[in-house]
Amino acid sequence: MPEKKTSSDKGSFCATVRANRQIGQPAPAFSDASRGGGRFYRLNLEFTGDGAKAFAKFQPGQFAEFDLSGTALPTTEKVPEDLVDVCQRNILLRRPFSFADVNAKKDKILAEVLYCVVGPASLRMTTLASGDSVSVIGPLGNGFRVPEGKKSALLIAGGMGAPPLLHLAKVLTADYSDIEAIAFAGTKTAKDLPFEKRLDEISQQLGFSLPEFAKYGVKSQVATEDGSAGFEGMVTDCFKRWLDKSNPAREQSIIYACGPEQMLARIAEIAKEKQIDCQISMERRMACGFGICQSCAVPCRVNGTNETVYKLCCEDGPVFDSKEVVFSL
Amino acid sequence: MDNTVDISVDFAGLKLANPVFTASGTCGYADELSDFMDINQLGGFITKSITVKPRKGNPTPRIVETDSGMLNAIGWANVGLDKFIEEKLPVIEKLTIPVFVNIAGETIREYVAVVERLATERTIAGFELNISCPNVEKGGISFGTDPELVKEVTSAVKKAAGEKILIVKLAPAVTDISAIARAAVEAGADALSLINTFTAMVIDIETRRPVLANKTGGLSGPAIKPIAVYLVNKIYNEVAKERGIPILGIGGIRNASDAIEFIIAGALAVAVGTANFIEPGCAVKIIEGIKKYCISHNIINIKDLVGSLGTN
């Protein structure tokens, strides 16, 4: 992964939908789809021509902006109760998504988006059908970087933070044979985990329990705050417990994290305490995604001083060094 | 086919190849949108707001989407005058189209300070005066709501601007927008741009707090377009037409049909704003669309379309 991509890689392209299906609801355990959980989908896209050339360079942690304003809502009975009101308004802005996987197939690029239905745009996304086209701007932002000399990559995903880390797990396995990656994934409760496995049967230990990571040979451990799957507690505590026990060589290790800001703040603390390099993927409301609107400001420290400047999540991030970010909690 | 229709316009003495601008705050300092379009195809370009001192801008959230629109409260985040001259002017210099610098300030002194420094820069065509700023010397009320204040700030800036074209950008939420427009023109404005955003609020009903960290933000996008069209027509009829003052129409334009509506209402030129966030190449498409419309409606010169609104 290059340290810095050139700005001229990005553009506005038309992608073709190849598949779009709901995932991760093995009934009856998680049949309650009324709030948050059980509303995960996997969207497969195909880029051709200039779009394929641009997205061939897409790095884990980068993102793309989707125009869903012209995409239809599902029929009334398929609108979850908690989204009925919000779905009455038209949407205008694009929505940012990371990719969970990117594959080159001849001169085409196949990209996979894992998404959760949380509002009027992601709900519209569920009605995209095979053969539909969707306008996508990207690749945007800076992805995860791999410094020299690392042997151990520690991936930590909170909730819907998993997709870019799945992509990272794949690239680390394929391109960095001397790095061993392991993953920790956590949420409030089992049904909020964006994975397909029967998560209530999953092990308490690090193992090949999540097939999404296991297919790259990456061991994983699940944590849920209510103990409904895996470790009972926060994923940060789960990770800290593993770290204390395993004590990996700090200069050979690197933490990659994506999730809610509170989780990232805790991970940054742990990384500082253990003196392990740490890159975090931040999230902000953004109107454009390519540096124009200035909405997605992230307060950052200036070279270890107390002075702070605003950097842009879209152009300077979304992946930041955990030492520079001033978290807003 | 292009030769049969003339969409060039004379904007306050400046010949523009076409009437389409990108609006301040939605197209960066100069070439940031060049990944998506050839900036030099535009009729003109307006930079984001420049202030004397650099401004970090407001805390986040700075934006929130609304029905067919959005609120922004960026807080004029910008590099400040010195860095603008040092880093951005050289980029602007490479553009072949007229560039206007949008200026913001909290005192008349601050506006004048920016204009004085830039008035001698050959590469700048003129200024767009953002009068929707709080006047800190007058208890924070907006410059743009009081005709006397508008006169004061416009004439001070006009004096500093010398030969450069001065556009005054009008705020829409005022008691009598024609009085404000007249004040600006009498004080030396060469052109008027309208409308700026409407101050608005979105509340999170779970937390019972405003979504934006700044509490309020400026509403832009298609939601405000009919109001903008109405106000452009009002200013054209009541102020601009008789005085020969060009209007730059702004407010929710995202396609050629929207742009043409503004031109019929009385705008000599239009600026694309919020739509740049969604379809960053759309301004160039709008130019093509205007040409097509003129051809299919047998309009040989676009000036025949300006203010051509009929009565029912």
Query: Which residues are CB-contacts of B85 (< 8 A; sequence separation ≥ 6)?
Result: B117, B118, B121
Contact B102, B51 (CB under 8 A): no
Q: Is residue B22 part of a domain?
A: yes
A123 lies in the same domain as A235: no
Percent of chain A with pLDDT over 70: 91
Cβ-Cβ pairs closer than 8 A, A with B, add up to 100
Q: How far apart are CA A191 and CA A211, in angstroms?
A: 16
Q: Is residue A224 part of a domain?
A: yes
- Which candidate, B161, B166, B179, B77, places its Cα nearest to that of B130? B166
A199 lies in the same domain as A158: yes
Backbone angles phi, psi at B62, to 5 degrees: -100, -15
The domain boundary, picked from A81, A111, A140, lies at A140
Residue range of the domain that includes B16: 2-58+75-199+217-304
What is the per-residue pLDDT across B272-297, written as a single tens digit (0 to 9) for each? 999 999 999 999 999 999 999 999 99
Radius of gyration of chain B (CA): 18
DSSP codes, B89-140: HHHHHT--S-EEEEE--SSHHHHHHHHHHHTT-TT--EEEEE--SB-GGGTT
Percent of chain B with pLDDT over 70: 97
A101 lies in the same domain as A199: no
Question: What is the ipTM score, two decimals?
Answer: 0.93
Chain B environment of A82 (Cβ under 8 Å): none
Q: How far apart are CA A327 and CA B303, in angstroms?
A: 54
* Residue listed under structure tokens 């010195």: B82
pLDDT over 60 at A7, yes or no: no
- Among B29, B51, B202, B278, the strongest candidate for a mutation testing the A interface, having the largest count of A CBs within 10 A, is B278
Does residue B280 sit at the A interface (CB-CB below 8 Å)? Answer: yes
pLDDT attached to residue A192: 81
A79 lies in the same domain as A102: yes
Please give the single-letter amino acid code of residue B133.
C
pLDDT attached to residue A191: 81
pLDDT attached to residue A9: 81
Residue in chain B closest to A88 (alpha carbons) equals B67
pLDDT over 50 at A30, yes or no: no
A22 lies in the same domain as A109: yes
Provide mean pLDDT across the span B246-270.
98
Query: Structurally, how many domains does chain B consist of?
Result: 1
As a whole number, the mean pLDDT across chain A is 90
pLDDT attached to residue B3: 60
pLDDT over 70 at A26, yes or no: no
A86 CA: distance to closest CA in chain B (Å): 10
pTM of the model: 0.93
Q: Is residue A43 part of a domain?
A: yes
Q: Do B62 and A288 touch (CB under 8 A)?
A: no
B29 CA: distance to closest CA in chain A (Å): 9
Query: Which 3 state secondary structure label does DSSP give B45?
Result: strand
What is the per-residue pLDDT across B21-73, written as a single tens digit (0 to 9) for each? 999 999 999 889 999 999 999 999 999 999 999 999 999 999 999 999 999 99
pLDDT attached to residue B26: 95
Give the relative orientation of helices B177-186 and B147-161 as an angle to the nearest 10 degrees: 30
pLDDT attached to residue A263: 96
B215 CA: distance to closest CA in chain A (Å): 15
Q: Is residue B64 part of a domain?
A: no
Provide mean pLDDT across the span B174-201.
96
What is the per-residue pLDDT across A216-232, written as a single tens digit (0 to 9) for each? 999 999 999 998 888 99
The domain boundary, picked from A87, A117, A140, lies at A140
Query: Structurally, how many domains does chain A consist of?
Result: 3
Does residue B74 sit at the A interface (CB-CB below 8 Å)? Answer: yes
Provide mean pLDDT across the span A303-318.
91
Q: Is residue B211 part of a domain?
A: no
A93 lies in the same domain as A169: no
pLDDT over 70 at A156, yes or no: yes
What is the per-residue pLDDT across B101-138, written as a single tens digit (0 to 9) for each? 999 999 999 999 999 999 999 999 999 999 987 766 76
Does residue B27 sit at the A interface (CB-CB below 8 Å)? Answer: yes
Please give the single-letter amino acid code of residue A72.
A
pLDDT over 50 at A1, yes or no: no
Provide mean pLDDT across the span A285-309.
92
A206 lies in the same domain as A312: no
Q: Is residue B309 part of a domain?
A: no
Residue range of the domain that includes A245: 152-281
pLDDT attached to residue A29: 41
Provide mean pLDDT across the span B197-225.
96
Task: Identify the CATH number of the domain in which residue B84 sits.
Answer: 3.20.20.70
pLDDT attached to residue A201: 63
What is the per-residue pLDDT across A41-84, written as a single tens digit (0 to 9) for each? 999 999 999 999 999 999 999 999 999 999 999 999 889 999 99
